[in-house]
Structure 1
Amino acid sequence: MQNPRLASRYAKSLVDLAVEKGQLEVVRADMQVLQQITKGNPDVVTLLKSPVIKPDKKQKILAAILEGKISNMTSMFIQLLVAKGRESNLPEITTEFARQYNVLNNISKVKITTAVPLDAAILSTIKQKVEAGSDKKIEMETAVEPDLIGGFVLETEDRLFDASILRDLKDIKKQFAQNIYTPNIK
């Protein structure tokens, strides 16, 4: 993140305005659209960061890209960013908006990484178990990493629970390397 303080301030302003106008869910959906666009299309990020392209041209291009996809409030917010020369921070602002939205609505993000994709029933059971141990609503994110061999890695905001076969194998390798049963001979 290039400028977390700036992103935090702009995101906070947008959250406050959206709450005041009763459009928080609409703006959240818009921010998710913007996040998908900036993550999925590096050309848009290059456009936002380009000092060569004039601000009025950037506004026209962004308006053409986002026409019918975002609300008027979010469109005006993007126009403000371009007018202030802060459009290059849009990807950071969308991420920070999502974080502040989650804090405001008492939502905790949980990421589970497994060696193979999980079916919906197992994922639902895991979500119920995690919610039972927390006073927050849980938003699950899944990832597949075949290197884990088996088991899973569960990441919350402040904890990491690694129950993977890969970690067990690394622990065993470490124990063999130390070989505490053989005295060191010099």
Structure 2
Amino acid sequence: MQNPRLAGRYAKSLVDLAQERNELEAVYADMKYLQDVCKQSKEFTNVLRSPVINADTKEKILNEIIIKNISKLSSAFVNLIVKKGREKTLPEIAHAVIDQYNEIKGIHKVKLITVSPASEELKTAIANKVKADAGLAHVELENVVNEGIIGGFQLEYNGNLVDASIARDLRDIQKQFQKNTYIRNIR
């Protein structure tokens, strides 16, 4: 994130205005859509961040891709951001809006990292277990595939990491051999 403080300020103003107008759900859906577009198309994000492309061209691109698919409040906000020359922070603003929405609604993000995609039953079971153990009311589970953990899983939530991966076990064994704790026991 290039400028999280700036993104947070713009996001707070949008969230506050959306709450005033009872359009928070629509704005949240719009920001999820914008975030998905940014994730799917690196070219789109590069266009937003490009200093070579002028603001009028960026506004036309945004109108074609984004504006026609989002609510009036969100489209007015995006147009304001472009007019202020802050369009390069639009992906960060969308992320900050989603984070603030989750905070308002009491939704906690949980990231499950596995070697292969997890089944829906496993995701549900893990979400329920995290809810019960951590005392969380609402959990949004995201499954990330990372073959580097070799096997097992990693679970991240509220700044905590539960690492039950084989890669961690192998690192622990490597540390034990580097310390040579077994040599003392043999003598």
Same fold (TM > 0.5): yes
* 2:84 match: 84
Return the alpha-carbon distance in structure 2 between the equivalents of residues 73 and 17 of structure 1. 9
The alpha-carbon deviation at position 4 of structure 1 amounts to: 1.3
In structure 1, the partner of 2:141 is 140
Partner of 1:98: 98
Alpha-carbon distance between aligned partners in 1 of 2:174 and 2:14, rounded to the nearest angstrom: 51
Higher helix fraction: Structure 1 or Structure 2?
Answer: 2
Separation in 1, partners of 2:153, 2:24? 34
Per the alignment, residue 150 of structure 2 pairs with 149
Aligned-partner SS, 2:2: coil
8 Å contact from structure 2 (residues 130, 136) kept in 1: no
Aligned-residue offset at 1:54 = 2.9
Q: Aligned AA for 2:164?
A: A
Equivalent position of 2:75 in the other structure: 75
Aligned-partner Cα distance in 2 for 1:52–1:149: 43
Quote the residue 1:48 is aligned against.
Answer: 48
Match of 2:26 in 1: 26
CA offset at residue 123 of structure 1?
1.4
- Give the Å deviation of 1:65: 1.3
Task: Please report the TM-score for the alignment, with normalisation by the length of structure 2.
Answer: 0.91
1:64-101, Cα deviation, whole Å (9 max, x unpaired): 11243111111100110011111111011011111111
- After TM superposition, where is structure 1 displaced by more than 4 Å over at least 4 residues in a row? none
Aligned to 1:124: 124
Query: Could you say which residue in structure 2 is the equivalent of 1:181?
Result: 182
In 1: Cα distance, 2:24 partner to 2:61 partner: 26
Q: What secondary structure sits across from 1:117 in the alignment?
A: coil
**Residue aligned with 1:46, SS:** helix
| 2:161 counterpart residue number | 160
Number of residue pairs the alignment of both structures matches: 183
* Amino acid in structure 2 at the alignment position of 1:82: V
After TM superposition, give the deviation of residue 52 of structure 1 in Å: 3.3
Change (3 A) 1:98 1:87: same
Which ranges of structure 1 fall in alignment gaps of 5 or more residues? none
The whole-number CA distance in structure 2 between the counterparts of 1:17 and 1:177 is 58
Q: CA deviation at 1:145?
A: 2.0
- Identity across aligned pairs (percent)? 49
> Please, which runs of 5 or more residues in structure 2 have no aligned partner?
none
CA distance in 1, matches of 2:129, 2:20: 35
SS at match of 2:37: helix
Q: Deviations over 1:33-59 (max 9, x none)?
A: 111112221222222223333323322
What pairs with 1:106-121 in structure 2 (closer than 5 Å)?
106-121=106-121
